[in-house]
């Protein structure tokens, strides 16, 4: 049995999904849409639960929201699990009514019943159930799991029940038109024809598309316009069909609630109000936000993340390598196998895995901010600035996250409704200088800019931001022209996040990183190592005669105008595509340096300070790393935009590095 989980955004749908399923089964893609829908097996094994994106209405505003409607139209399921926020019951029932009109058995989870009670809402669930076709209604608290077992116990029995669609009288004019439309569909096999007719008159574009397969578009338009005329004439304050339908449903909901809902008190949100007065304050808003960001980076890179990463690094390069060597010697493995494992896989995969503590720390803190309710305020504080460059406040969050790692940054763009603003955010987030790039800067500034290390690094971070904002302005007024920008954000009350939820969402965000290390970074490391190990002269050749040197030498002339036309730089940049921090390890191998000081000394023979800076600028901008490219591909679901994000970055990197190198020369820098 398939159960569709539907509800308004921000009503605890994902919490309920996690509690009812216990684990994610797989991520499913449905016909025509590329938005993720989660599918999980219910703990009590009676069926599968399908988590649909949060929607306010079945009449979709964006493509993303169309997923739920598309699901109803084309997928097979036997039961709807509707989650309703008890504290926002009037607004939530609007979706419930539409789902009941569709005519499938429904179970309703009345969520956040604790919050509703504390706000003085008393809901008579029994009576409400009667008014909603007898659908079982179970009060739950999805965040803690209270009532969820009881909710799940209803699924089996409800599935068997035959239900009639909910009937609401929309007035003689509309009812007549609905009748006409249903009659026209007499000969076609379609589920819930009345529901379809109503959705059509409400202006649902997906339903219209489907109807057009059976009825000529001109006929539909004529019927629509004629009905609209009839309905709105003689009514004051009603301007179109959509409004009429909405107001009829609104009346029905209010009538139901007058029977089932008692408000015992009016509550003021004093706590949230006080917090908001501080964090969105005229003068303090932006400084407080910057302080939060500073603290996040401190936690991630200084206080907790990096020390743990260093421990892991020491473990990989120390005990693990030793044990592996001993084990390999013990089983009599050949030199070649030993080299593959130790210099290839352990160095390559281990080099990426050491970042796990930092990445999880960052995700944990970001989850904390998301769950606390502060993220929506950040979007609001930053909106004005972002609007000027053709984005909206919500785009700021992915960019901030991108400073930690571009991969979660790109994923965070999901919260942006406008497809074009979302796409723009996705392709520009990789310009944020991530933590992996910092390791390369450290190497270079230590060798060439000992006097002004911090200033040089800061200039690179700023360059990334300036280029991203500038390109946002350019792209949004050319390639990705907006017809209508939009920014409407719900500001949830502040709350202290639950451990359970935090752990879960940290893991959900971070697990992909580990999976990647085990798959394509694993493979890539072996290849790179092999290229440096083998050459035309055979195996275990001198590095300068290896295939890696040949490949690096092939592209090196391209970089000559930028000031670093050596095969070593070419090879390092090539491997840097795998992950930017790999540049450091590649240079370690290439310059055969046992430690940092030696490496920096050797590099002085190959770079001047100016060409070193030009190299860093190129590295900052040139291409998103492989993991980021993969996630861009996944999030945009478009090979074209993925290639675009690589292509524009390469071009802009070349152009800016060229300008800096020759501009610097002209000004007399070395």
Partner 1 sequence: MVLSEMKQGSIVKILNTDRVSEIVRRRLIDLGMMEGATIRIKRILPFGGPFAVEICGQWIGIRRCEAKSIEVEWAS
Distance in Å, CB of 498 to partner 1, minimum: 21
d(CA 621, CA 466): 12
CB atoms within 10 A of CB 320: 15
Distance in Å, CB of 82 to partner 1, minimum: 16
d(CA 155, CA 635): 34
DSSP secondary-structure letter at 545? G
d(CA 45, CA 434): 43
Q: Among 267, 357, 273, 276, which residue's Cα sits nearest to residue 310?
A: 357
- State which residue, 425 or 586, has the beta carbon closest to partner 1: 425
Distance in Å, CB of 57 to partner 1, minimum: 6
**Tokens found for residue 239:** 């301007």
Look at strands 26-28 and 37-41 and give their pairing: antiparallel
**Cβ proximity of 349 and 260 under 8 Å:** no
**Cβ proximity of 163 and 105 under 8 Å:** yes
Q: What does 628-651 look like in DSSP terms, one character per residue?
A: HHHHHHHHH--HHHHHHHHHHHHH
Spatial neighbors of 48 by CB under 8 A, at least 6 apart, are 1, 2, 3, 25, 39, 40, 41, 42
- State which residue, 372 or 453, has the beta carbon closest to partner 1: 372
Distance in Å, CB of 225 to partner 1, minimum: 17
Distance in Å, CB of 283 to partner 1, minimum: 8
- State which residue, 476 or 588, has the beta carbon closest to partner 1: 476
- State which residue, 386 or 623, has the beta carbon closest to partner 1: 386
**Cβ proximity of 628 and 636 under 8 Å:** no
**Tokens found for residue 180:** 């006409």
DSSP secondary-structure letter at 40? E
- State which residue, 56 or 522, has the beta carbon closest to partner 1: 56
d(CA 559, CA 614): 10
CA angle 406, 410, 416 (to 5 degrees): 145
Distance in Å, CB of 658 to partner 1, minimum: 37
- State which residue, 492 or 565, has the beta carbon closest to partner 1: 492
d(CA 579, CA 572): 11
d(CA 170, CA 670): 79
Distance in Å, CB of 455 to partner 1, minimum: 29
**Dihedral sign for Cα atoms in the order 164, 166, 169, 173:** negative
- State which residue, 416 or 463, has the beta carbon closest to partner 1: 416
- State which residue, 115 or 457, has the beta carbon closest to partner 1: 115
Q: What is the largest CA-CA distance in the chain?
A: 93
- State which residue, 418 or 600, has the beta carbon closest to partner 1: 418
- State which residue, 381 or 541, has the beta carbon closest to partner 1: 381
- State which residue, 446 or 493, has the beta carbon closest to partner 1: 493
**Tokens found for residue 552:** 């690096």
- State which residue, 334 or 484, has the beta carbon closest to partner 1: 484
Distance in Å, CB of 491 to partner 1, minimum: 4
d(CA 190, CA 200): 14
- State which residue, 144 or 272, has the beta carbon closest to partner 1: 272
DSSP secondary-structure letter at 281? -
Distance in Å, CB of 289 to partner 1, minimum: 12
Distance in Å, CB of 496 to partner 1, minimum: 18
d(CA 42, CA 3): 9
d(CA 363, CA 296): 10
Distance in Å, CB of 492 to partner 1, minimum: 8
DSSP secondary-structure letter at 317? I
Distance in Å, CB of 56 to partner 1, minimum: 3
643-652: long-range pairs with CB below 8 Å, 24+: 644/427, 645/426, 645/427, 645/430, 648/427, 648/471, 649/430, 649/431, 649/621, 649/622, 649/623, 649/624, 650/622, 650/623, 652/467, 652/471, 652/621
- State which residue, 157 or 486, has the beta carbon closest to partner 1: 486
Residue labelled with tokens 């072996």: 526
Give φ, ψ of 539 to 5 degrees: -95, 165
Give φ, ψ of 377 to 5 degrees: -70, -35
DSSP secondary-structure letter at 131? H
**Tokens found for residue 7:** 């509800």
Residue labelled with tokens 């074009």: 420
Distance in Å, CB of 486 to partner 1, minimum: 5
**Cβ proximity of 366 and 396 under 8 Å:** no
- State which residue, 61 or 308, has the beta carbon closest to partner 1: 61
**Cβ proximity of 626 and 579 under 8 Å:** yes
**Cβ proximity of 615 and 444 under 8 Å:** yes
- State which residue, 251 or 310, has the beta carbon closest to partner 1: 251
- State which residue, 330 or 488, has the beta carbon closest to partner 1: 488
Distance in Å, CB of 204 to partner 1, minimum: 12
Supply the angle between the helices 270-279 and 285-297 in degrees, to the nearest 10. Answer: 90
Distance in Å, CB of 637 to partner 1, minimum: 22
Distance in Å, CB of 274 to partner 1, minimum: 12
CA angle 374, 377, 381 (to 5 degrees): 140
Q: Among 226, 225, 199, which residue's Cα sits nearest to residue 210?
A: 199
Distance in Å, CB of 502 to partner 1, minimum: 23
Binding site for partner 1 (CB under 8 A): 56-57, 61, 87-88, 90-91, 94, 119, 237, 239, 246, 267, 272-273, 276-277, 280, 282, 285, 376, 379-381, 383-384, 387, 393, 417, 484, 486-493
């Amino acid at each position: 049995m398939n159960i569709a989980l539907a509800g308004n955004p921000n009503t605890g749908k994902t919490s309920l999904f996690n509690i009812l399923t216990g684990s994610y089964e797989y991520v499913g893609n449905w016909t025509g849409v590329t938005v993720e829908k989660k599918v999980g097996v219910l703990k009590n094994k009676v069926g599968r639960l399908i988590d649909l994106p949060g929607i306010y209405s079945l009449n979709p505003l964006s493509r993303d929201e169309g997923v739920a409607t598309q699901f109803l139209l084309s997928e097979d399921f036997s039961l709807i699990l509707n989650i309703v926020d008890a504290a926002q019951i009037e607004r939530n029932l609007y979706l419930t009514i539409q789902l009941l009109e569709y005519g499938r058995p429904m179970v309703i989870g009345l969520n956040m019943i604790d919050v509703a009670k504390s706000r003085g809402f008393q809901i008579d669930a029994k009576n409400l159930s009667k008014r909603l076709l007898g659908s079982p209604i179970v009060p739950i608290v999805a965040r803690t799991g209270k009532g969820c077992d009881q909710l799940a116990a209803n699924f089996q029995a409800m599935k068997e029940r035959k239900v009639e669609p909910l009937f609401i009288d929309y007035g003689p004019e509309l009812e007549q038109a609905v009748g006409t439309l249903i009659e026209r569909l007499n000969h076609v096999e379609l589920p819930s024809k009345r529901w379809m007719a109503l959705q059509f008159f409400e202006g649902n574009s997906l339903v219209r598309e489907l109807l057009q397969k059976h009825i000529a578009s001109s006929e539909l338009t004529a019927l629509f316009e004629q009905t609209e005329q009839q309905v709105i004439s003689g009514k004051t304050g009603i301007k179109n069909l959509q409004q009429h339908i909405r107001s009829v449903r609104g009346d029905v909901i209010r009538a139901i609630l007058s029977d089932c809902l008692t408000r015992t008190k009016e509550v003021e949100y004093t706590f949230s109000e006080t917090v908001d007065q501080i964090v969105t304050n005229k003068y303090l808003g932006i400084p407080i936000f910057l302080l939060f960001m500073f603290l996040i980076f401190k936690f991630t890179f200084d206080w907790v993340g990096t020390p743990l990463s260093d421990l892991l690094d020491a473990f990989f390069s120390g005990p693990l390598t030793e044990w592996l060597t001993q084990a390999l010697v013990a089983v009599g493995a050949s030199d070649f196998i030993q080299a593959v494992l130790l210099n290839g896989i352990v160095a390559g995969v281990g080099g990426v895995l050491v970042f796990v503590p930092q990445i999880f720390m960052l995700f944990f803190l970001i989850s904390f901010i998301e769950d606390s309710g502060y993220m929506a305020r950040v979007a609001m504080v930053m909106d004005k600035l972002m609007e000027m460059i053709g984005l909206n406040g919500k785009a700021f969050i992915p960019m901030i996250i991108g400073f930690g790692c571009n991969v979660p940054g790109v994923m965070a763009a999901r919260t942006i409704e406008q497809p074009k603003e979302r796409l723009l955010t996705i392709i520009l987030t990789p310009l944020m200088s991530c933590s992996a790039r910092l390791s390369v800067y450290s190497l270079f500034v230590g060798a060439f800019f000992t006097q002004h290390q911090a200033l040089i690094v800061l200039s690179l971070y700023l360059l990334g931001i300036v280029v991203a904002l500038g390109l946002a302005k350019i792209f949004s007024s050319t390639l990705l022209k907006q017809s209508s920008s939009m920014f409407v954000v719900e500001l949830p009350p502040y709350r202290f996040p639950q451990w359970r939820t935090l752990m879960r969402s940290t893991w959900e965000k971070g697990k992909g990183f580990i999976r990647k290390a085990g798959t394509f970074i694993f493979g890539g490391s072996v290849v790179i190592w092999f290229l440096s190990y083998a050459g035309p002269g055979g195996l275990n050749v001198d590095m300068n005669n290896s295939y890696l040197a040949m490949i690096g030498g092939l592209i090196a002339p391209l970089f000559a105008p930028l000031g670093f036309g050596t095969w070593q730089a070419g090879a390092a940049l090539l491997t840097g595509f795998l992950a930017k921090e790999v540049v450091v390890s590649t240079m370690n191998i290439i310059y055969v340096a046992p430690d940092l000081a030696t490496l920096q000394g050797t590099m002085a023979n190959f770079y001047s300070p100016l060409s070193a800076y030009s190299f860093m600028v190129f590295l900052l901008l040139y291409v998103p790393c492989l993991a980021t490219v993969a996630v861009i591909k996944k999030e945009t679901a478009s090979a074209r935009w993925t290639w675009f994000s690589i292509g524009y970055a390469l071009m802009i990197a070349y152009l800016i590095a060229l300008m800096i190198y020759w501009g610097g020369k002209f000004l007399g820098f070395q």
